Amino acid sequence: MAKEMAGTETAENALEGLSGPERAAIFMMSLGEKNAAEVLKHMAPKEVQKVGTVMSTLNNVSNEKVESVVSQFVETANAQSGVGVDSDEYIKNMLNSALGEDKAGGVIDRILVGKNSKGLESLKWMDPRSVAEVVKNEHPQIIAIVLSYLESDHAAEILHHLPERARSDVLMRIATLDGVPPAALQELNDVLENQFSGNNSVQNSGVGGVKTAADILNFMDGASEAAITEAITETDEELAEAIQGQMFVFENLLEVDDKGMQTILRDVQSDQLILALKGADDTMKEKIFGNMSSRAADMMREDLEAKGPVKLKEVEDAQMEILAVAKRLADSGEISLGGKGDEEYV
C-alpha cells in the first residue's frame, strides 16, 4: 500500500509550502502566453495583480511542482464537472492546446493515467530514489529497459541514485537496446504488477536506443555525464561518440537566445569561428552574424569568403570546440542551451 501511494505522496510533498497565488501562478505559466491571457480576462484586477506579481518572482520551479499543481487542477475540475461532461477529454484537449501534443503527452499520462496505473506505469509516479531502490538489485538489462520506458529527466534522476559503478553499464545497454519484444515487456510489467499488487497492460515496445541514452545523459549533471561518457568510451568508443553526437550538435545553437549567443561568441576565437562556419548552413551563419556588430559581421563574411577549402575534420573539430564553450557556459549558469537537456522553467 505504501508503495502504491508513493506517487500521491510525492505530489502532496511538491505542493507543500505553496500558497494559493503561487499555485495559480505556476498553473498560468504552464499554459503559455495566449492561453494564460484568455484566463486573465475573466479575473478581477486585484486577482490579476496578485497572480502577476507572483509570476514575476517565480524561479527554479521543478517539474514535480508543475505536474502537482496541474494534477490538483484536474482533481478540482473532476469534482465540479457537470453531468455529461467528459472531464478527462476536456483536460486532454486543454493541455494539448496549451502545451502542444509533444509536451502535453507526458503530463497527461502522469495526471490522467498515473493514479490508476500499476506495473511499469506506476514507476512514472514514484520518487526517483524509490524507483532506484526497486530496481537496483535487478540485472542491468532489466534496469535499462525500465529506464528506457520512463521520461528522460525521470530516468536521469533514477540513474543518479544507482551505484556509480552501474551507471555506464546501464546507459550502454540503453543505447544498444533495439526495442523490446512485447512479450518480454509484458513479462517485466507482470513482475512489477505482482510486486505492487496491480493490473496493467503494456502495448509499447519501442524503447531504448542511442537517442534515448543521449536524452537521459543530457539530464545528468556535468560531472556524472563526463564520468559515464569516459567509462563508455573505454569500453566502446564508437558507441560513446554516437551518444555524444545525439546529445548536442552545432545546429542546436540556433535554439540559444541572442544574449546567450553573444556570450558564447565572446569566448570564441575568430579563426575558430571561421572554420566552424565553413560547414554551417545560411541560417546558422545569419544567426551568428546577427549577434555581432555590423562591422564585425562584415569582416567575418569577407574572411569566410576568402578562406579556401578546409578538411571536414577541421570544421568538425572547430564546431566541437565551440560546443564545449557553450556547454561550459551552460554548466556555470551563464546561458541556457535550448537543444540540451536543460531543466525547463515555467
Mean pLDDT across the stretch 126-139? 84
User: Residue 145 pLDDT more than 90?
Assistant: no
Residue 249 CB-half CA count within 13 A: 13
Q: Which three cell numbers stand for residue 301?
A: 563574411
Tell me the CB-side half-sphere exposure of residue 85, using CA atoms within 13 A. 12
Name the architecture of domain 120-246: Orthogonal Bundle (1.10)
Question: 239: which 3 cell numbers?
Answer: 558507441
Q: According to the model, what pLDDT value does residue 315 have?
A: 87
Sign of CA dihedral 266, 272, 274, 276: negative
Categorize the per-residue pLDDT at 199 as very low, low, confident or very high, splitting at 50, 70 and 90.
very low
Cβ neighbour number for residue 34 with a 10 Å cutoff: 9
249-331 adopts what CATH topology? Annexin V; domain 1 (1.10.220)
Dihedral, 163, 173, 224, 67 alpha carbons, nearest 10? -90
* pLDDT of residue 266 exceeding 80: yes
Residues 6+ apart with CB under 8 A from 251: 281, 284, 339
Site of grid cell 543518479 = 160
Tell me if 197 sits within 8 A of 4, measured CB to CB: yes
User: Side-chain half-sphere of 343: how many Cα atoms within 13 Å?
Assistant: 15
DSSP 110-174: IIIIGGG--HHHHHTTS-HHHHHHHHTTS-HHHHHHHHHHS-HHHHHHHHHHS-HHHHHHHHHHH
Quote the strand ranges of the chain, DSSP E. Answer: none
Q: Could you give the CA distance from residue 257 to residue 65 in angstroms, rounded to a whole number?
A: 26
Q: Which residue has the cell 541514485?
A: 161
The Cα 340–Cα 153 span in angstroms is: 12
Per-residue pLDDT tens digits for 39-96 = 766 666 656 667 777 777 777 777 778 888 887 777 776 665 454 445 566 556 666 6
* pLDDT band at residue 227 under the 50/70/90 scheme: confident
Kindly state the DSSP code that residue 81 receives in the 8-state scheme.
Answer: P
Q: Which amino acid is at 102?
A: D
pTM: 0.41
Q: Where in the chain is the domain with CATH 1.10.220.30?
A: 120-246, 249-331
Predicted pLDDT of residue 113: 46
